[in-house]
Each structure stands twice: as C-alpha cells, then as structure tokens.
C-alpha cells in the first residue's frame, strides 16, 4: 500500500495533468522535494541542493515554481524571485 505522502503526490500529479500540464520526471522530482521541504527560505539554494542530486535545469525548476504559484499550489511571499519565501499550499499532513 502507498504511503500518505505518495497518495498526495499522485493526487498533485493528477491535478497537474488535469489542468493540461505535463508531468515530466523533473517536475515530479521537484514536487517530491517540495513535499519534503514545504517552506523554502531561499529558492536558489533549494534548487542548488536539488540540482546536486538530480539533473534539473534552472529553467525547468523556475518555470515549475512559477506554474505552482500560478496554480496556487505554492505561495510566494516577498518582493523578488531570489529572496522571496515560498510555502507549499498542498496539504502535506
């Protein structure tokens, strides 16, 4: 049986597809990382850490972050992209 986190991740992937977006391997890896770290203080550091483990370009990462904000899965607080604080709006409990 899948864990609760897996079920919620797959529900998020389903939402992504239902809204007409591609659920690529890189996007799913980003989604998993966001579940593991639902509050991001520094988006660039978060990407660098993710990049050390997976082959994800800045363009792919940042375009997904922008998409997640647009779709209201992720909230952005702060004036600029690099120094903004982000937090996940998808229920991770």
pLDDT digits (tens, 9 = 90+) for 9-60: 888 899 999 999 999 999 999 999 998 899 998 889 999 999 999 999 999 9
State the average pLDDT over residues 67-93: 80
* 8 or 57, greater pLDDT: 57
Overall pTM > 0.85: no
C-beta neighbour count of 90 within 10 angstroms: 17
Q: What own/partner pairs with CB < 8 Å and gap ≥ 24 does 51-54 have?
A: 54/26, 54/29
């Amino acid at each position: 049986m899948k864990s609760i986190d897996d079920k919620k991740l797959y529900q998020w992937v389903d939402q992504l597809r239902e809204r007409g977006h591609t659920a690529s391997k890189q996007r799913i890896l980003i989604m998993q990382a966001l579940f593991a770290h639902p509050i991001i203080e520094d988006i660039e550091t978060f990407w660098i850490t993710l990049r050390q483990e997976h082959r994800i370009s800045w363009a792919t990462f940042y375009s997904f972050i922008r998409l997640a904000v647009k779709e209201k899965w992720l909230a952005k607080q702060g004036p600029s992209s690099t120094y903004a604080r982000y937090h996940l709006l998808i229920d991770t409990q």
